[in-house]
Amino acid sequence: MKITRLETFIVPPRWCFLKIETDEGFVGWGEPVVEGRAHTVAAAVEELADYLIGKDPRHIEDHWTVMYRGGFYRGGAIHMSALAGIDQALWDIKGKVLGVPAHELLGGAVRDRIRVYSWIGGDRPGDTARMAKERMDDGFTAIKMNASEEMQFIDTFDKVDGVIANVAAIRDAVGPNFGIGVDFHGRVHKPMAKVLMKELEPYRLMFVEEPVLSENAEALKEIAPLSNIPIALGERLFSRWDFKQILAGGYVDIIQPDPSHSGGITETRKIANMAEAYDVALALHCPLGPIALAANLQLDANCYNAFIQEQSLGIHYNQGNDLLDYVKNPEVFAYEDGYVKIPQGPGLGVEVNEGYVRERAGIGHRWRNPIWRHKDGSFAEW
Ligand SMILES: O=C(O)[C@@H](O)[C@H](O)[C@H](O)CO
Ligand SMILES: [Mg+2]
């Protein structure tokens, strides 16, 4: 069997899909994308295609190794996301060839379903408590919110008070057992992170995410001892070698690799297994589309340390299209009691509606991250 073609589709709201074809009629889908850089990742896929055309799609581990190591320069958001989408599509093909879901080939499922959380905003506090309650009424058992608007290196306590008021209102609305993840989104610097971690401790959070940017992870040494809140990060780390530093540091409780950014199923599984050896939990990052989510669920099936899954179903930042629009079997993502079942169909377990993908690729998107400014005019992290 030989790979004959790789084709990318830039589709709303901000995604990129990849279709890999073979000479025996088997087809695989992946989602190679970094938010705000979809076209750049598509270009990287196109470059990697020179190597893949004519190869047997079933040799995933070897192709991954060559595509990672073979370019001399390696790693980073663009390369690892391109590799991720290709890897997902190759697992999709392999599963379809053998007539089993990808997780079966990874050693079989350790769970039937995974708890999921939903994102409720929070950049501009106000109605987050109402949204959290709505999500609870929808059957979710956990949400994630952004902590606050922008924050300068040292900022005023009205912002701290705003974060606390917001979280307190949510805790009040949803009761003691509902999971609340708070994403600092890399907006917070070490001094303010120290203040916030202490003040947030009474609200029994599920985790605080990116208390500081991962590139400033050495600050966790000072931040972690200040509270018992689990620390999560990893959506902006892309390989075993990136996570090695974090795990060896010992201050992180939950890693959040994104299987569309961190080298696909092959690499993310290895990252998850490394974390298990440090007694670190897994909460895969996925504010993306249906192919990415299906790949995530294949990993959740197989990785013992997974405890919750991010998903963007019905989220308002998906303007123009929702996750279910692109699939023929939307029931595969139905949640019940706050859980989503592990897909059991062959490959990734999602049936892509190719006609609709082509239609929406005709419209495409040029999604870009919002650009914010502090009150003094300097750039503010989004
Ligand atoms: O954890 C999350 O889901 C967010 O931090 C998103 O990854 C970010 O807004 C870019 O899409
Ligand atoms: Mg995040």
Does 21 sit in the ligand 1 pocket, CB within 6 Å?
Answer: no
Q: Which two tokens stand for residue 299?
A: 């990993």
Same domain, 222 and 304: yes
Does 35 sit in the ligand 1 pocket, CB within 6 Å?
Answer: yes
Can you tell me which atom of ligand 1 is nearest the CA of 119?
A: 3
Mean pLDDT of 104-117: 98
Last residue in a domain, options 76, 101, 126? 101
Same domain, 143 and 234: yes
Does 257 sit in the ligand 1 pocket, CB within 6 Å?
Answer: no
Same domain, 59 and 168: no
Same domain, 241 and 260: yes
pLDDT value at position 317? 78
pLDDT above 70 (res 70) = yes
pLDDT above 70 (res 30) = yes
Same domain, 147 and 93: no
Q: Quick one: pLDDT band at residue 186, thresholds 50, 70, 90?
A: very high
Mean pLDDT of 34-62: 98
Q: Quick one: pLDDT band at residue 302, thresholds 50, 70, 90?
A: very high
Same domain, 278 and 152: yes
Same domain, 143 and 43: no
Mean pLDDT of 227-239: 98
pLDDT value at position 116? 97
122 contacts 146 by C-beta, under 8 angstroms: yes
Same domain, 243 and 339: yes
Q: Which two tokens stand for residue 94?
A: 């392999």
Distances (CA, A) of 114 to 194, 205, 303: 32, 19, 11
Does 287 sit in the ligand 1 pocket, CB within 6 Å?
Answer: yes
- CATH number for position 91: 3.30.390.10
Least confident span in 41-45, 98-102, 135-139, 229-233? 135-139
SS3 track for 170-216: HHHHHCCCCEEEEECCCCCCHHHHHHHHHHHHHHCCCEEECCCCHHH
Mean pLDDT of 185-190: 95
Classified as helix, coil or strand, 88 is helix
Nearest Cα to Cα of residue 58 among 80, 86, 91, 30:
91
Query: If you take atom 6 of ligand 1, which residue's CA is the nearest one?
Result: 287
Classified as helix, coil or strand, 11 is strand
Spacing, Cα 243 to ligand 1 middle (Å)? 18
Instruction: Let me know if residue 201 belongs to a domain.
Output: yes
Spacing, Cα 127 to ligand 2 middle (Å)? 20
Query: If you take atom 3 of ligand 1, which residue's CA is the nearest one?
Result: 287
To the nearest 10 degrees (0 to 180), the angle between helices 290-302 and 77-98 is 70
pLDDT value at position 126? 67
**Whole-angstrom distance, CA of residue 31 vs CA of residue 223:** 35
**Whole-angstrom distance, CA of residue 347 vs CA of residue 207:** 32
Spacing, Cα 203 to ligand 1 middle (Å)? 22
Instruction: Let me know if residue 367 belongs to a domain.
Output: no
Can you tell me which atom of ligand 1 is nearest the CA of 382?
A: 9
Distances (CA, A) of 191 to 145, 156, 302: 21, 12, 39
Q: Which two tokens stand for residue 243?
A: 């996570």
Mean pLDDT of 186-201: 97
Mean pLDDT of 62-86: 98
**Whole-angstrom distance, CA of residue 243 vs CA of residue 263:** 13
Instruction: Let me know if residue 268 belongs to a domain.
Output: yes
- CATH number for position 217: 3.20.20.120
- 10 Å CB burial of residue 110 (0-12, 13-18, 19+) is middle
Does 236 sit in the ligand 1 pocket, CB within 6 Å?
Answer: no
Same domain, 291 and 238: yes
Beta strand residue intervals within the chain, DSSP E: 3-11, 15-22, 27-30, 113-119, 142-146, 179-183, 207-209, 231-233, 254-255, 281-284, 306-310, 335-336, 339-341, 372-373, 379-380
Same domain, 321 and 336: yes
Instruction: Let me know if residue 49 belongs to a domain.
Output: yes
Instruction: Let me know if residue 118 belongs to a domain.
Output: yes
pLDDT above 80 (res 319) = yes
Nearest Cα to Cα of residue 216 among 194, 198, 240:
194
**Whole-angstrom distance, CA of residue 79 vs CA of residue 277:** 27
**Ligand 1 pocket, mutate which of 35, 187, 256 (most atoms under 8 A from CB):** 35
pLDDT value at position 294? 98
287 contacts 280 by C-beta, under 8 angstroms: no
Classified as helix, coil or strand, 371 is coil
Last residue in a domain, options 101, 122, 146? 101
Q: Cite the active site residues.
A: 185, 285
Same domain, 222 and 323: yes
The kind and range of the H/E element at 168 are: helix 157-174
Largest CA distance in the chain: 63
Can you tell me which atom of ligand 1 is nearest the CA of 209?
A: 1
**Ligand 1 pocket, mutate which of 285, 372, 381 (most atoms under 8 A from CB):** 285
Q: How high does pLDDT run on average in the chain?
A: 96
Mean pLDDT of 304-319: 89
The kind and range of the H/E element at 357 are: helix 354-361
Mean pLDDT of 59-87: 98
Same domain, 96 and 109: no
Spacing, Cα 382 to ligand 1 middle (Å)? 10
> To the nearest 10°, the Cα dihedral for 81, 66, 101, 78?
0
Instruction: Let me know if residue 309 belongs to a domain.
Output: yes
Number of domains in the chain: 2
Structural domain of 19? 3-101
Last residue in a domain, options 47, 79, 101? 101
Instruction: Let me know if residue 378 belongs to a domain.
Output: no
Q: What would the DSSP string read from start to end of 141-162?
A: SEEEEE--S---SS--HHHHHH
Instruction: Let me know if residue 324 belongs to a domain.
Output: yes
